[in-house]
Amino acid sequence: MRFVASCILAIGLAACATAPGAPDPSGGGGDGLRVCPGRVANAPASDNAGRVRGFSPIVQVAGASLLRAPVEGCISSGFGPRRGGAGSFHEGLDIFTRSPRVIVAGGDGVVEFIGSQRGYGRTVVIRHNARVKTRYAHLSSYGRSLREGARVSRGEPIGETGRSGNATAVHLHYEILINGRAVNPLAVGK
């Protein structure tokens, strides 16, 4: 899968607003996962073109083989504590796509939940094994044939990005959960 910096066209939108001194996003060849231009909370280390340093698309997590980023887009918010709100902690990775874009299953598994969750909007949860799940939030639509209890394979479309729930821009909020606890999709396994 190629990861394209779709954020380049999004200058001015909330999730990808530019800031003075932001890296020029136009210098790369289009592969690799990138951080959106502008101010990005909890951004991972990146090179001058915004490419995430040391990015590997697939990680082994507690017996599951998972994608670190299951949609093409740029990182508009990383995992970790957020400034401002006391106790606010971002339990996932936000991947901005500007317009709705296909999200794929992060790994092989069984669809555990399809529906609305408070704040998350339209959400899909996939169980990969007894310990590992992934959550996909703020969707605009679900995959047409997606059913709870159905098996899915890594890379299979499960829906499209949107801004349902508590979201101001079209993006995917992606969580990797081990025994119910969220871990950083970009750092786990390193």
| Nearer residue to Zn ion within complex by CB, 47 or 188 | 188
Longest dimension (CA), the chain: 48
Among 173, 183, 184, 185, binds Zn ion (CB under 5 A): 173
| Nearer residue to Zn ion within complex by CB, 21 or 117 | 117
Residue range at the interface with Zn ion (CB under 5 A); choices 2-10, 86-94, 104-112, 182-190: 86-94
Which residue in this structure is represented by tokens 């047409």?
144
E strands of 43-131, at which residues? 58-61, 64-67, 74-77, 80-81, 89-90, 93-96, 102-104, 109-117, 121-127
Q: Tell me how many residues contact Zn ion (CB under 5 A).
A: 3
Binding-residue pattern over the window 87 to 126 for Zn ion, x denoting contact by CB under 5 A: -----x-x--------------------------------
Q: Are 90 and 68 in contact (CB under 8 A)?
A: no
| Interacting residues toward Zn ion by CB under 5 A | 92, 94, 173
